[in-house]
Protein backbone atom coordinates (compact mmCIF):
# COMPACT_ATOMS: atom_id res chain seq x y z
CA UNK A 1 0.00 0.00 0.00
CA UNK A 2 1.34 3.37 -1.01
CA UNK A 3 2.76 5.92 1.40
CA UNK A 4 -0.28 8.19 1.82
CA UNK A 5 -2.99 9.18 4.27
CA UNK A 6 -5.56 6.40 4.69
CA UNK A 7 -9.25 7.06 5.36
CA UNK A 8 -10.84 5.04 8.18
CA UNK A 9 -14.52 4.80 9.13
CA UNK A 10 -15.61 3.44 12.51
CA UNK A 11 -19.19 2.18 12.71
CA UNK A 12 -21.55 1.58 15.58
CA UNK A 13 -25.33 1.50 15.67
CA UNK A 14 -25.92 4.77 17.57
CA UNK A 15 -22.65 6.61 16.84
CA UNK A 16 -22.71 8.14 20.31
CA UNK A 17 -19.82 6.49 22.18
CA UNK A 18 -17.53 3.71 20.85
CA UNK A 19 -17.23 4.83 17.24
CA UNK A 20 -16.77 8.46 18.34
CA UNK A 21 -14.00 7.44 20.78
CA UNK A 22 -12.30 5.36 18.08
CA UNK A 23 -12.49 8.26 15.61
CA UNK A 24 -10.79 10.56 18.12
CA UNK A 25 -8.11 8.04 19.08
CA UNK A 26 -7.27 7.24 15.45
CA UNK A 27 -7.01 10.92 14.57
CA UNK A 28 -4.66 11.44 17.53
CA UNK A 29 -2.40 8.39 17.20
CA UNK A 30 -2.52 8.09 13.41
CA UNK A 31 -2.21 11.79 12.64
CA UNK A 32 -0.59 12.34 9.26
CA UNK A 33 -1.07 8.73 8.19
CA UNK A 34 -4.78 8.20 8.91
CA UNK A 35 -7.90 10.36 8.81
CA UNK A 36 -10.77 8.85 10.79
CA UNK A 37 -14.51 9.36 10.78
CA UNK A 38 -17.38 7.65 12.57
CA UNK A 39 -21.01 6.95 11.79
CA UNK A 40 -23.97 4.81 12.79
CA UNK A 41 -26.62 2.71 11.10
CA UNK A 42 -29.25 4.29 13.38
CA UNK A 43 -27.49 7.35 14.82
CA UNK A 44 -28.76 8.65 18.11
CA UNK A 45 -28.39 12.22 16.90
CA UNK A 46 -26.20 13.22 19.84
CA UNK A 47 -22.86 12.21 21.26
CA UNK A 48 -23.40 10.73 24.71
CA UNK A 49 -22.49 13.28 27.44
CA UNK A 50 -20.18 10.80 29.19
CA UNK A 51 -18.31 10.27 25.91
CA UNK A 52 -17.78 14.02 25.65
CA UNK A 53 -16.71 14.22 29.31
CA UNK A 54 -14.15 11.41 28.91
CA UNK A 55 -12.74 12.81 25.69
CA UNK A 56 -12.37 16.26 27.26
CA UNK A 57 -10.56 14.69 30.23
CA UNK A 58 -8.20 13.06 27.70
CA UNK A 59 -7.56 16.47 26.09
CA UNK A 60 -9.51 15.93 22.89
CA UNK A 61 -11.23 18.76 21.07
CA UNK A 62 -14.91 17.79 21.11
CA UNK A 63 -16.76 20.77 19.64
CA UNK A 64 -16.99 19.31 16.10
CA UNK A 65 -18.04 15.79 17.18
CA UNK A 66 -21.51 14.73 16.07
CA UNK A 67 -23.60 11.60 15.70
CA UNK A 68 -24.20 10.93 12.01
CA UNK A 69 -25.58 8.34 9.63
CA UNK A 70 -23.41 5.99 7.64
CA UNK A 71 -25.36 7.24 4.59
CA UNK A 72 -23.03 10.27 4.56
CA UNK A 73 -20.18 7.95 3.61
CA UNK A 74 -22.03 5.66 1.19
CA UNK A 75 -23.60 8.22 -1.16
CA UNK A 76 -22.64 8.25 -4.82
CA UNK A 77 -19.63 10.51 -5.14
CA UNK A 78 -18.52 9.99 -1.52
CA UNK A 79 -14.79 9.92 -0.91
CA UNK A 80 -13.27 6.43 -1.09
CA UNK A 81 -12.63 4.64 2.19
CA UNK A 82 -9.55 2.52 2.88
CA UNK A 83 -10.75 0.81 6.07
CA UNK A 84 -14.13 0.29 7.73
CA UNK A 85 -14.23 -1.11 11.28
CA UNK A 86 -17.37 -2.07 13.16
CA UNK A 87 -17.02 -1.61 16.90
CA UNK A 88 -20.31 -3.04 18.14
CA UNK A 89 -21.69 -6.54 17.70
CA UNK A 90 -25.15 -5.36 16.65
CA UNK A 91 -23.92 -3.43 13.62
CA UNK A 92 -21.55 -6.25 12.64
CA UNK A 93 -24.65 -8.35 11.89
CA UNK A 94 -26.36 -5.66 9.82
CA UNK A 95 -26.23 -5.39 6.06
CA UNK A 96 -23.84 -2.52 5.46
CA UNK A 97 -23.96 -0.18 2.47
CA UNK A 98 -21.57 -0.60 -0.41
CA UNK A 99 -18.64 1.59 0.56
CA UNK A 100 -16.77 3.62 -2.05
CA UNK A 101 -13.21 2.48 -2.65
CA UNK A 102 -13.59 -1.22 -1.75
CA UNK A 103 -12.25 -0.74 1.79
CA UNK A 104 -10.73 -3.43 3.95
CA UNK A 105 -13.25 -4.27 6.68
CA UNK A 106 -12.99 -5.86 10.10
CA UNK A 107 -14.96 -6.20 13.31
CA UNK A 108 -13.33 -4.76 16.44
CA UNK A 109 -16.18 -5.33 18.88
CA UNK A 110 -16.23 -3.60 22.26
CA UNK A 111 -18.87 -3.58 24.98
CA UNK A 112 -21.42 -0.77 24.90
CA UNK A 113 -20.58 1.80 27.57
CA UNK A 114 -23.94 3.54 27.11
CA UNK A 115 -25.70 0.34 28.24
CA UNK A 116 -23.50 -0.06 31.32
CA UNK A 117 -25.42 0.22 34.61
CA UNK A 118 -23.75 1.42 37.77
CA UNK A 119 -22.74 4.46 39.75
CA UNK A 120 -21.44 7.52 37.92
CA UNK A 121 -17.88 6.60 38.94
CA UNK A 122 -18.34 3.00 37.75
CA UNK A 123 -19.70 4.28 34.44
CA UNK A 124 -16.76 6.63 34.05
CA UNK A 125 -14.32 3.76 34.68
CA UNK A 126 -16.18 1.57 32.17
CA UNK A 127 -16.09 4.29 29.50
CA UNK A 128 -12.35 4.62 30.08
CA UNK A 129 -11.92 0.83 29.82
CA UNK A 130 -13.69 0.78 26.45
CA UNK A 131 -11.73 3.79 25.23
CA UNK A 132 -8.48 2.05 26.22
CA UNK A 133 -9.46 -1.18 24.41
CA UNK A 134 -10.14 0.77 21.22
CA UNK A 135 -7.01 2.88 21.62
CA UNK A 136 -4.85 -0.25 22.07
CA UNK A 137 -6.27 -1.80 18.90
CA UNK A 138 -5.67 1.43 17.02
CA UNK A 139 -2.05 1.56 18.23
CA UNK A 140 -1.53 -2.02 17.02
CA UNK A 141 -3.17 -1.16 13.70
CA UNK A 142 -1.12 1.98 13.00
CA UNK A 143 2.10 0.07 13.77
CA UNK A 144 1.47 -2.43 10.95
CA UNK A 145 4.06 -2.37 8.14
CA UNK A 146 1.61 -1.08 5.51
CA UNK A 147 4.28 -0.66 2.85
CA UNK A 148 5.30 -4.31 3.01
CA UNK A 149 1.86 -5.97 3.29
CA UNK A 150 -0.26 -6.88 0.31
CA UNK A 151 -4.03 -6.46 0.55
CA UNK A 152 -4.70 -10.05 1.65
CA UNK A 153 -2.08 -9.96 4.40
CA UNK A 154 -3.38 -6.61 5.57
CA UNK A 155 -6.97 -7.90 5.66
CA UNK A 156 -5.86 -10.85 7.79
CA UNK A 157 -3.91 -8.63 10.18
CA UNK A 158 -6.71 -6.10 10.74
CA UNK A 159 -9.17 -8.92 11.43
CA UNK A 160 -6.74 -10.45 13.92
CA UNK A 161 -6.56 -7.14 15.77
CA UNK A 162 -10.30 -7.42 16.44
CA UNK A 163 -9.81 -10.75 18.16
CA UNK A 164 -6.85 -9.70 20.30
CA UNK A 165 -7.59 -10.21 23.98
CA UNK A 166 -6.60 -7.00 25.65
CA UNK A 167 -5.45 -6.77 29.27
CA UNK A 168 -8.04 -5.75 31.83
CA UNK A 169 -7.81 -2.18 33.08
CA UNK A 170 -7.78 -1.69 36.82
The reported pLDDT for the residue numbered 165 is 64
Catalytic residues: 12, 88, 96
At the fourth CATH level, the homologous superfamily of domain 6-161 is: Response regulator (3.40.50.2300)
Dump the DSSP string for 115-170: T--S-HHHHHHHHHHHHHHHHHHHHHHHTS-GGG--HHHHHHHHHHHHH--PPPP-
pTM (two decimals): 0.92
The reported pLDDT for the residue numbered 167 is 58
Domain residue limits, the chain: 6-161
The reported pLDDT for the residue numbered 77 is 84
What is the spatial distance between Cα 97 and Cα 22, in angstroms, rounded to a whole number?
Answer: 20
Kindly tell me if the per-residue pLDDT of 22 is higher than 90: yes
Tell me: the pLDDT tens digits for 33-78?
999 999 999 999 999 999 999 999 999 999 999 999 999 998 888 8
High-pLDDT (> 90) share of the chain, %: 75
Kindly tell me if the per-residue pLDDT of 18 is higher than 70: yes
The reported pLDDT for the residue numbered 164 is 72
Split at pLDDT 50, 70, 90, the class of 98 is confident
The reported pLDDT for the residue numbered 94 is 64
> Average pLDDT in the 115-144 region?
94
Mean pLDDT, the chain, integer:
90
The reported pLDDT for the residue numbered 170 is 45
Amino acid sequence: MANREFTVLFLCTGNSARSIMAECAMNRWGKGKFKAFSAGSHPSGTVHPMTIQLLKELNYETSALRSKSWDEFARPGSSPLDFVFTVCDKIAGEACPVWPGQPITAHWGAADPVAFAGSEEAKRRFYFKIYTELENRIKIFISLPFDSLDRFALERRVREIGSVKLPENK
